[in-house]
Chains A and B, each alone.
Chain A
Amino acid sequence: MSRLFGQLGFEGFALAAFETIYMTLISTAVAYLIGLPLGILLCATDKNGIKPIPWLNKIVGVIVNILRSIPFIILMVALIPVSRAIIGTSIGNEAMIFMLVVAAAPYIARMVESSVKEVDKGVIEAARSMGANTWQIIWKVYLPEAKPSLIVGAVISTVTIIGYSAMAGTISGGGLGSLAVTQARPSNAQDVIWLCVVLTIVIVQIIQELGMLLAKRLDRRVYFGKVKKAAVVSAQPPVEELPAPISTKNDEIVGQDDQNL
């Protein structure tokens, strides 16, 4: 066991893990505040969307693509002066959250866009036929209907941000990434590095499993004839055969064309 491992103790690792989780969750939340509306905007203003505004779609699309195409490690370095100008510092957790948000928001916008695009065109057409306006379609069709897919997207985004946070940790904030790179590597404390790896895996696994469980529990669709527990909210057990409703009283309306003269 390395000296550093002993110095850190349980509390040292717990603090680093907590910092990683804390920064990831805060960054994800803030990035969603920006990325979710942008994603909806990208989908709605598309030429086949509910409110086509080609120029706006183009501008936002280009900005998102530019930010997404810069590797995070480079974006981070480039953002150091920006961070200093906007939030007054380029080190510490706040600066790190700022950088994570800038990197994650465009990513989230694309995730949200693809989730919302999955919503059945027919359902949107039905809502339009009912006279729903753009806002009503966004609030009552886009978001609720895309919910399971949005949650899956959020899980993927969060896991990506954990990866980013490890990188960001190397230049400014704390967390497991910072611990492994700035403290453990110089003193060659392999055991600390590996424990950081294991802790990161555990955090990713927990978020992944919880998120997927939530997405499944909230999805009201049924696949392969199985009815999920979440869907069972009716007073009567819904697991039953689904006979076609046969109304016998009107059978005489059709089927009389075979009479002979």
Chain B
Amino acid sequence: MIEIKHLTKIYPSKSGDTVALNDIDLTIPDGAIFGVIGLSGAGKSTLVRCINMLEKPTEGSVIIDGEDITRVKQKRLNLLRKNIGMIFQNFNLLEQRTVAQNVRFPLDIAPRQSKRSPKDSPVPFRVEKARRDERVKELLELVELSDKANSYPSQLSGGQKQRVAIARALALRPKYLLCDEATSALDPTTTKSILALLKDINEKLGVTVIVITHEMKVVESICTDVAVISNSKIAETGKVTDVFSTPQSDIAKELIIPDLIRAIESEGGKKLRLIFAGDEADTPVISGLALECGVKANILYADTKNIDGKSFGHMVIAVSEEDGQLEAAKSYLLRHNVRFEEEL
């Protein structure tokens, strides 16, 4: 489990300090695919870099499995980092090493087993070269790139490079995997396959994945938990299903349901926002309203998202206030257990 407590990061400069993170509290449970979403400049990249101390926080602590890594010595930090894989937007592969040699890199620098080596190493010790090569083979099979073992990074496509980076990040069987905008440089199809791979890794290997992104689709398609970050602060956090069905903060609404906001802000009639979370999505609401209550509802917006195999959605309808139509509509919705909110 990763616990982030009162994390603050300030970049001092002559023209005034820049606050990148402001008193962040966050708990990332084991086994989760935890999304951190926000607009660019919100501080999400700084946040993920503080988790493995690529950035030193100004204040606060990052506690990983009970150990505050902001307070450990460099040597211990290097060891703990091996338990936290990381992939990047620009892949960051070693250009002069082959695919196989790139994947072998963490194995080559794994801690040696000796009398002086730490007893509580979270990662496996260095093994002989033949066994390292075996592990590399295994990893390349996992990311479906066995045929590219002897290619160089410059001969690969973006998606292939990210697969190599994933294999490399997983070489020492880390418990955590940080993904910093890992799919932002990829096209939609490749993004899908990389996300599927990350989900697979989470499910099969039990790796806790932390995904930093500005793309809603990424969170929507693989994350179990999400934190929305805005202006260096956590605006909202929770299960993806909760945050997506009933976003509370303005920034979350803007990110998750931007068109809905626009629909609500448009002119004309009283508006109801219907919230579908799970099975009610099958209820024929609109025809029900028309046939049973004679309510003429105008659909301004409708969208469902598939999260964790369940349908979640919002629909905004405009209903005339004349002839008690609004009241009729509300009582119909209450009868059928459809959650709704009156919008101005």
Residues of B within 8 A of A (CB): 52, 54, 74-75, 77-82, 84-86, 88, 90, 92-98, 105-106, 108-109, 144-145, 147-152, 154-160, 163, 165, 168-169, 178, 186-187, 189-190, 192-193, 195-197, 199-200, 217, 220-222, 276, 281, 285-286, 302-306, 311, 313, 315
B92 and A253: CB pair below 8 A? no
Main SS at interface, chain A: loop
Q: From A260, which residue of chain B is reached at the shortest CB distance?
A: B302
B109 and A140: CB pair below 8 A? yes
B276 and A247: CB pair below 8 A? no
- Given A222-B154, A238-B155, residue A245 in contact with residue B82 (CB < 8 A): no
The residues of B that contact A11 with a CB separation of less than 8 Å are none
B81 and A131: CB pair below 8 A? yes
**What are 15 sample pairs from A and B whose C-beta atoms fall under 8 A apart?**
A122-B88, A126-B92, A128-B81, A129-B86, A130-B109, A132-B78, A133-B74, A219-B96, A220-B152, A222-B154, A244-B186, A244-B187, A254-B221, A257-B303, A261-B302
B96 and A253: CB pair below 8 A? no
Asked if A1 is an interface residue, CB under 8 A from chain B, the answer is no
A247 and B196: CB pair below 8 A? yes
B305 and A257: CB pair below 8 A? yes
For the complex, count residues of A whose C-beta is within 8 A of B. 49
Question: Digit string of A195-226 for contact with B (CB within 8 Å is 1, else 0)?
Answer: 00000000000000000000000011110000
A253 and B193: CB pair below 8 A? no
The residues of A that contact B186 with a CB separation of less than 8 Å are 244
Residues of A within 8 A of B (CB): 120, 122-123, 125-133, 136, 140-141, 144-145, 147-148, 219-222, 227, 231, 233-236, 238, 242-247, 249-261
A130 and B82: CB pair below 8 A? yes
The residues of A that contact B82 with a CB separation of less than 8 Å are 130-131
The residues of A that contact B86 with a CB separation of less than 8 Å are 126, 129-130
Q: From A51, which residue of chain B is reached at the shortest CB distance?
A: B74
B163 and A245: CB pair below 8 A? yes
Nearest CB of chain A from residue B54's CB, rounded to whole Å: 6
A131 and B80: CB pair below 8 A? yes
Q: From B160, which residue of chain A is reached at the shortest CB distance?
A: A245
Candidates A123, A131, A242, A252; contact of B155 at CB < 8 Å: A242
The residues of B that contact A235 with a CB separation of less than 8 Å are 150
